[in-house]
Amino acid sequence: MFETFLRLCRSTVRKGSAFALASGNNFGEAMPRLFVLAMILSASGAALAQQPSPSPSPAVLNVPPIAPNYRAEKTPLPELERVGVNMDQQQPLALREALKLALENNKDIEVARENVKIAEFDLLGARGVYDPRLSSQSYYERVKTPVSSFLSGGENGAVTQSDYTGTFRFEGLAPTGGGNYRMDFSSIRLTSNNQFAALNPQYPSALTFNFTQPLLRGFHTDNARRQIRILKKNLTLTDVQFRQRAIDTITNVQRAYWDLVFALRNLQVQRDAVHDARVQLDHNRRLVGEGQLAPIDIVAADAQVTSFEQALFSALEEVSRSENNLKGLIAPDAKAAIWTAAIVPTDSVDLTPPPISLPDAMKLAFDNRPELQQSNLAREINQIDQSYYRDQTKPEIDLTGSYGVVGLAGTTSSGINPFSASSVEVRNRVNQLSVLNGLQPLPDIPSQALAPFLIGGYGQSLDNLLLNRFNNFRVGVSISLPLRNRTAQAQLGRSLVEGRRLTTQREQLEQTIQVDVRNALQVVRSAEARLRAAAANRSASEQQYESEKRKLDAGQSTVFLVLDRQTALTTARGNELRAQTDLNKAIADLQRATGNALTVNSIVVGVH
């Protein structure tokens, strides 16, 4: 490096001296300057010589070449067929028919429809809490009890009783007021070896009514009514979600339909471009044969043909992809016949966007967007929770009441009355002693006889019960006062915070919808403007291409300009098609943004 600088300095001095002599300048004046320059360069070289040498450059990666000897064979191009599609089996399809098929067969719609049915069954199950319950119990029982009293009336030191018992209970919850009711009925056939039993066998029966009515906690709401109200909201929520899924499906089908329209028409544009390029190639060959063009112009036209052929098969691939996407939205399953058919859209593009202003679009969105309806339902469910948890913080005060009737009947037994027949001798002896001692004898004991309505069988017992001869009732108040009840307070506080969170989310959702509507409306207007510009560009490109061909025939243009105009025309035609379908997809997105996709397309969705 240093030697290089010295050589440069010597060369500079020589050139400077020669320049000075040639120009007539004083060499003595130029020499000091050159000397200073040489000294500076020498010092720089010395400084560079003192610096460490740079590290060697990294090794170059040895990347293998990709098919270096590949040459395309001169074979005919494959047919323009789509994989798995019978081109002879064409199925015309209108947009409305595609929407109908999608709503009937789309798996997302089917799942959403099943979710609604599940919510209906959940609500039906929650209402089952008010279904009355009937329970019964029947059994035979034998009890042998030891006795330790002379008045027990047992034999051989024991009293043996056997009975056939049947019980029935009817109970449930009141749908309003939070009360609960219970009715108990029991019927027994009792036999005993008790010597003092007046009725044997006997048929006791009983019927009891009980009712408990909350006066404070649980009067306006309870967990059962809370669950039913929430499930009603959930049913509405799943229905709204179903509508949301239907709107999304409609939008997706519309976009897929117009994508297929564009792909098919773009395929035709590319086929026309290949045809025009081949015509131009033949034309160039004639001009070369006539000596008006150089042979290299045939190569340029041939390259144009192959370039358009590549674009043609790329367009075919786009057709297959768009068609499969649409089939996936409308086909019922993987074995449907539509998979092998070639779909032919029959609807024309709509070139006139809906005349709607931003305020009207915003009003439609706030009235129809399912997301806002879902937000409203979430807020209503939260209010149900707040009401329930606020009720749980109250004391529990219940009014209780019961009323019961009993019946009894039986067959008169031959048992001994210890207070009458068994004490006759004792009574006579007491009276004798009373006379000897000047006392009044004991009064006569009235005869002990059972009431006539107690004599009979099981039917008589039921008569006594139904005639309400023996009854009882009770009325009271039950009070339960929790000292702190922190659980209910925490649940109430959580529901209040949840309500504030839902309010914040609602405000955020409204802003998101406003952005969505504004963007959708802007896209529609921009798409309309792009369509007008694309149509004008296509018309101008057609005129320029035809003009350039005439110039070439007249010898006033070149093949390059003709091919360039041809490429520009093909691009302009594709852009016009894209602008047309983009406008229709923008209209579909605007319908989704305003939430009126179902109304505009006259679609009524149902669960069943």
Contact 409, 465 (CB under 8 A): no
Question: Which residue from 316, 302, 265 is spatially nearest to 79, judged by alpha carbons?
Answer: 316
106 against 58, higher pLDDT? 106
Contact 236, 377 (CB under 8 A): yes
**Would you say residue 123 lies in a domain?**
no
Token pair in block for residue 421:
């027949």
Token pair in block for residue 96:
């409305």
**Would you say residue 104 lies in a domain?**
no
Beta bridge partners of residue 165, listed in sequence order: 139, 188
Token pair in block for residue 402:
């019961």
Q: Is the pLDDT of residue 39 over 60?
A: no
Question: How far, in Å, are 40, 42, 56, 419 from residue 1 at the CA level?
Answer: 14, 10, 17, 147
Looking at the fold, whether 234 and 293 belong to one and the same domain comes out as yes
Mean of the pLDDT values across residues 408-434?
70
**Would you say residue 117 lies in a domain?**
no
Looking at the fold, whether 431 and 462 belong to one and the same domain comes out as yes
Token pair in block for residue 512:
């998101």
Write the CB contacts of 384 (distance below 8 Å, at least 6 apart in sequence). 226, 229, 230, 233
pLDDT at position 197, please?
81
* Residues 98, 338: Cα–Cα separation, whole Å: 12
The count of domains in the chain is 2
Q: Is the pLDDT of residue 397 over 70?
A: yes
Q: Taking all residues of the chain, what is their mean pLDDT, rounded to a whole number? A: 84
Looking at the fold, whether 251 and 379 belong to one and the same domain comes out as yes
DSSP annotation of 90 reads E
pLDDT tens-digit series, residues 239-277? 898 899 999 999 999 999 999 999 999 999 999 999 999
Contact 255, 587 (CB under 8 A): no
**Would you say residue 10 lies in a domain?**
no
Q: Is the pLDDT of residue 295 over 70?
A: yes
The angle at the Cα of 516, spanning 595 to 360, to the nearest 5 degrees, equals 55
Looking at the fold, whether 376 and 402 belong to one and the same domain comes out as no
pLDDT at position 72, please?
64
Q: Is the pLDDT of residue 418 over 80?
A: no
pLDDT at position 545, please?
92
* Residues 520, 253: Cα–Cα separation, whole Å: 18
> Domain span at residue 471?
131-145+152-224+395-441+449-486
- Model confidence at 29, in pLDDT bands (50, 70, 90)? very low
Looking at the fold, whether 198 and 218 belong to one and the same domain comes out as yes
* Residues 316, 310: Cα–Cα separation, whole Å: 10
pLDDT tens-digit series, residues 451-499? 888 898 999 999 999 999 999 999 999 999 888 889 999 999 999 999 9
Contact 107, 101 (CB under 8 A): no
31 against 134, higher pLDDT? 134
pLDDT tens-digit series, residues 526-570? 999 999 999 999 999 999 999 999 998 888 888 899 999 999 999
Q: What is the DSSP string of 478-510?
A: EEE--S--HHHHHHHHHHHHHHHHHHHHHHHHH
Looking at the fold, whether 206 and 257 belong to one and the same domain comes out as no
**Would you say residue 402 lies in a domain?**
yes
Beta bridge partners of residue 473, listed in sequence order: 403
pLDDT at position 208, please?
96
Q: Is the pLDDT of residue 2 over 50?
A: no
Q: Is the pLDDT of residue 17 over 70?
A: no
Boundary (domain end) residue, out of 457, 486, 515? 486
Looking at 331-453, list the stretches that DSSP marks H as alpha helix, in order from N- to C-terminal side.
Answer: 358-368, 370-392, 424-436
* Residues 105, 336: Cα–Cα separation, whole Å: 11
Boundary (domain end) residue, out of 425, 458, 486? 486
Beta bridge partners of residue 202, listed in sequence order: 190, 410
Question: How far, in Å, are 242, 271, 486 from residue 237 at the CA level?
Answer: 8, 51, 32
Answer whether the bond into residue 201 is a cis peptide, omega within 30°.
Answer: yes
Token pair in block for residue 532:
């007008």
User: Phi and psi for 335 in degrees, rounded to 5?
Assistant: -105, 10
- Model confidence at 584, in pLDDT bands (50, 70, 90)? very high
Looking at the fold, whether 276 and 320 belong to one and the same domain comes out as yes
pLDDT at position 40, please?
36
Q: Beta strand pairing status for 396-407 and 180-192?
A: unpaired
Q: Is the pLDDT of residue 370 over 70?
A: yes
Looking at the fold, whether 292 and 382 belong to one and the same domain comes out as yes
**Would you say residue 38 lies in a domain?**
no
- Which of 38-52, 163-177, 321-335 is predicted least confidently? 38-52
Looking at the fold, whether 427 and 530 belong to one and the same domain comes out as no
Looking at the fold, whether 355 and 245 belong to one and the same domain comes out as yes
Q: Is the pLDDT of residue 282 over 80?
A: yes
pLDDT at position 105, please?
87
Tell me the range of 202-216, 421-435, 452-466 where mean pLDDT is highest. Answer: 202-216
Single pTM value for the model = 0.72
Q: Is the pLDDT of residue 181 over 80?
A: yes
Q: Is the pLDDT of residue 90 over 80?
A: yes
Write the CB contacts of 400 (distance below 8 Å, at least 6 apart in sequence). 210, 211, 212, 213, 474, 475, 476, 477, 478
Q: Beta strand pairing status for 180-192 and 205-214?
A: antiparallel
Q: What is the DSSP string of 127-175?
A: HGGGS-EEEEEEEEEEEEEE--STTS--BTTEEEEEEEEEEEEEEEE-S
pLDDT tens-digit series, residues 124-165? 999 999 999 999 999 999 998 888 776 677 677 788 889 999
CATH number of the domain encompassing residue 560: 1.20.1600.10
* Residues 409, 199: Cα–Cα separation, whole Å: 8
Looking at the fold, whether 371 and 405 belong to one and the same domain comes out as no
Boundary (domain end) residue, out of 458, 486, 514? 486
pLDDT at position 226, please?
93
Q: Is the pLDDT of residue 306 over 70?
A: yes
Mean of the pLDDT values across residues 44-71?
58
Looking at the fold, whether 359 and 503 belong to one and the same domain comes out as yes
81 against 53, higher pLDDT? 81
pLDDT at position 74, please?
67
Q: How many CB atoms lie under 10 A from the CB of residue 447?
A: 7
Contact 509, 370 (CB under 8 A): no
**Would you say residue 101 lies in a domain?**
no
Q: How many CB atoms lie under 10 A from the CB of residue 337?
A: 10
Question: Which residue from 193, 189, 171, 188 is spatially nearest to 180, judged by alpha carbons?
Answer: 171
**Would you say residue 56 lies in a domain?**
no
